[in-house]
Structure 1
Amino acid sequence: MEWTLGVKLLLPLLWAACGRPAGADGANGYTSIIEVTNGGPWGEWAWPEMCPDGFFASGFSLKVEPSQGIPGDDTALNGIRLHCARGNAERNTHVVESQSGRWGAWSEPLWCPGGRFLVAFSLRVEEPKTPGDNTAANNLRFRCSDSTELEGPGLNWGDFGDWSKLCPKGVCGLQTKVEPPRGLRDDTALNDVRFFCCAS
């Protein structure tokens, strides 16, 4: 029990120290990583979460805190879940989630049509402002393998950046960068995300 707990506590630190995974690790290994350049500056990279072997992400849902008004502290996008599928997209699924912030509620999933897979993404991020209420990442949109675009129900602060590169077949995992709660100071929660691509 103590050894297992130690490993769970140590893994996020190792991933953060390395900055990114080293490469494919066999049957459940990824072939590449897709990222964007406009992620927020706060927080640390958490642990990765991967779809089961043979599954790819066909849908996603977001954890979003609505606007808190004045003088509330806004955090906007707090979490991302991938809905991994094999076969019928909405029946044979497995949900994966890296670290998420504590605020907000989960949306209903958005699905690529016809069992297609998520292959690229763009992140909506509010630029840092001093002084001010920083929110970092606010929304996320994906491109499916049939070129359909799905935009999440996040908030409208900031701008969408450039699209990531394409996964050759589909997204099969994720890793989030989240700022932990700061007490009475300005919270931003989710700042950035990267996705893993698999070939089979």
Structure 2
Amino acid sequence: MEQGTGAKLLLLLCVAHCRHSQADGPRDQESVIEVTNGGPWGDWAWPEMCPEGYFASGFSLKVEPVQGIPGDDTALNGIRLHCTRGGAQSVIESKSGRWGSWSEPMWCPNRSFLVAFALRVEPAVIPGDNTAANNLRFRCSDGTELEGPGLNWGEFGEWSNSCSKGVCGLQTKIEEPRGLRDDTALNDLRLFCCHT
């Protein structure tokens, strides 16, 4: 079996059948969308899902500002999805890094939902002060593109595939704090699509 295939299979089974504490039951899960330029460090945390019948229509980012020399930059540390259903809202978050502060939410217009994403990632520099993921773009179901208030190191990669209806969950890849060694915090992201 190809390396990583078993982990992805378990993840798909969990998303299809696991229950989030806020949900009434399992979601009609369609797919996992990913990008190819995520950072190499850290481990995948737990998946978090919007409650049943909710879809993500906004997001906010946890970003550490530029630290300067001799500081240790980590840039993007966390991602929250703002799930909505009618006038009701719920906020979900997978694991986040410890540094930075949360931005105000950015919302898709016209009651549209998040359907695809792209990550801005700084390539590994050895030796150097690595930051991995720096910023995030989302595409909404009405075609609007939203760019978060992250930092400018690195380049945006290609867009992920698109959800047919909307994003309903997320999972982050986070490097744990390393003490006096170089920290990168958030490295990569997966999103989950639901039909209902």
Report if TM-score (shorter chain) is over 0.5. yes
Query: Does the residue aligned with 1:22 lie in a helix, a strand or coil?
Result: helix
Q: 1:1-200 to 2 correspondence within 5 Å?
A: 18-19=7-8, 21-23=11-13, 24-25=16-17, 27-88=26-87, 92-200=88-196
Deviation at 1:28, TM superposition (A): 2.0
CA distance in 1, matches of 2:166, 2:156: 21
CA distance in 2, matches of 1:30, 1:94: 19
Partner amino acid, structure 2, of 1:77 = L
Deviation at 1:19, TM superposition (A): 4.0
Q: How many residues align structurally?
A: 182
The alignment's TM-score, normalised by the length of structure 1, stands at 0.88
Change in Cα spacing, 1:69 to 1:109, as seen in structure 2 (3 Å) is: same
Structure 1 unaligned runs (5+)? 1-16
Query: Does the residue aligned with 1:28 lie in a helix, a strand or coil?
Result: coil
CA distance in 1, matches of 2:82, 2:53: 13
The alignment's TM-score, normalised by the length of structure 2, stands at 0.90
Structure 2 unaligned runs (5+)? 1-5, 18-24
2:60, 2:81 within 8 Å by CA — same for their partners in 1?
yes
Runs of 4+ in 1 over 6 A off after TM superposition: none
2:110, 2:142 within 8 Å by CA — same for their partners in 1?
no
1:46, 1:178 within 8 Å by CA — same for their partners in 2?
yes
CA distance in 2, matches of 1:193, 1:29: 21
CA distance in 1, matches of 2:84, 2:174: 26
2:171, 2:190 within 8 Å by CA — same for their partners in 1?
yes
The Cα RMSD (Å) is 1.4
Partner amino acid, structure 2, of 1:39 = G
CA distance in 2, matches of 1:67, 1:121: 24
Deviation at 1:22, TM superposition (A): 2.6
Percent of pairs identical after alignment? 74
Deviation at 1:46, TM superposition (A): 0.2
